[in-house]
Amino acid sequence: MKRIAIAIHGGASQDSDFIRQNKTGYEEGLKAAVQAGYAVLQKGGSAIDAVERAVNCLEDNPLFNAGRGSALNNQGKVEMDAAIMDGENLKAGAVAMVKSVKNPISLAKKVLEKTSHVLLCGYGALKLAKEAGIVLEEDQYFITGHQLDEFKQANLEETGDILLKKQVHGTVGAVALDEYGNIAAATSTGGTPNSLPGRVGDSCMIGAGCYADNRTCAISATGDGEYIITGVIANTISLYTELTGKNLQEACDYVIKERNKDTPGDMGVISINKNGEIGITFNCERMHRAWIDTNGNMEARIYK
């Protein structure tokens, strides 16, 4: 039997009415995405193609805050970030502050494949999207009723002071192991309702919200992005396994729950290594997550 496995997440934070009301829809969306990524692996596809496929499903699902269903910033605009990394060769691609792009993770993969850069931002990312034939959509495609309501409510209630202090949530991601022993990670986000314009978070930052190295592990993080950046969470988990020899679950638990126990932010991570071991940790009420392990068993969970 081929040793393949995949894990995905759909964000981590405290619970909400919207999450409780849509529990079934979220569970179905998680299962569909993890199965779509797993199908790529079953057909002999690469880990990087599998994480792209799983994230595409979450980006296309309006329940998740990435691609369609992205949050609106305080200008009423969608600005999305994404990153992807290949553990075989440490190549990475990322995009920040992009609009119009249906699947930001697929544009991040084009940055990896077609340029020597890692991160393209704003109009430069959009220029590559057009040259590479990436699917674009009108602004209205991205905006769901739920996010429009959130924006209108927040825009009424939140003062400039609140905006300057606001923490930012909402991300999807995937990690996978393919039959060739390679691992990959992908992370994609639409940001948060009513954020400052131009804010770029951890999702597109290699080492923070996304990292992959065959020698250690592949990781996608989610939660309060600013603390994931300053904690350099993904690289810290990877290097912790490298330098201490701890296993992946221990490393995730240590970095999120011990090393950052005084960090006042929500954080969650999914991770995988070349043996197909999966590590998942979060410090808040819910992390939307699903995985299919090396025995082919699928799980999808929202709460602890």
The helix (run of H) or strand (run of E) holding residue 18 is helix 17-21
Q: Is 251 in the site for its own copies (CB under 8 A)?
A: no
Q: Does 201 bind its own copies (CB under 8 A)?
A: yes
Hey, which residues between 33 and 72 contact its own copies (CB under 8 A)?
Answer: none
Joined together, the tokens standing for residue 136 give: 């674009």
End-to-end CA distance of the chain: 31
Q: Which of residues 206-245 bind its own copies (CB under 8 A)?
A: 206-208, 211, 225-226, 229-232, 235-236, 239-240, 243-244
**Which residue of the set 24, 171, 236, 263 is catalytic?**
171
Q: Which amino acid appears at position 283 of this protein?
A: N
The number of angstroms, rounded, from the C-alpha of 4 to the middle of its chain's C-alpha atoms is 20
**Contact flag: residue 115 with its own copies (CB under 8 A):** yes
Q: Which of 41, 96, 184, 217 binds its own copies (CB under 8 A)?
A: 96
Q: Which of 25, 43, 90, 149 is the binder for its own copies (CB under 8 A)? A: 90
List 50, 80, 128, 270, residue binding its own copies (CB under 8 A): 128
For residue 291, give both structure tokens. 């995985």
Residue among 60, 65, 59 nearest 84 (CA): 59
Q: What is the side-by-side strand order in the sheet with 218-223?
A: 210-212, 218-223, 267-272, 278-282
- Candidate ranges 41-49, 125-133, 182-190, 273-281; the one touching its own copies (CB under 8 A): 125-133
Stretch that binds its own copies, among 10-18, 42-50, 195-203, 278-286 (CB under 8 A): 195-203
Closest CA to 58 of 40, 72, 37: 37
247 interacts with its own copies by CB under 8 A: no
Catalytic-residue membership of 216: no
String marking each residue 149-178 x if it binds its own copies according to CB under 8 A: ---------------xxxxx----------
> Is the distance from CB of 210 to CB of 187 less than 8 angstroms?
yes
Residues in the chain: 304
CA 77 – CA 71 distance, rounded (Å): 8
Q: Which is nearer to its own copies, 41 or 212 (CB)?
A: 212
* Cα dihedral value 55, 57, 62, 67, nearest 10: 40
Q: Catalytic site residues?
A: 171
Residues that bind its own copies (CB under 8 A): 85, 90-92, 96-97, 114-125, 127-128, 164-168, 195-201, 205-208, 211, 225-226, 229-232, 235-236, 239-240, 243-244
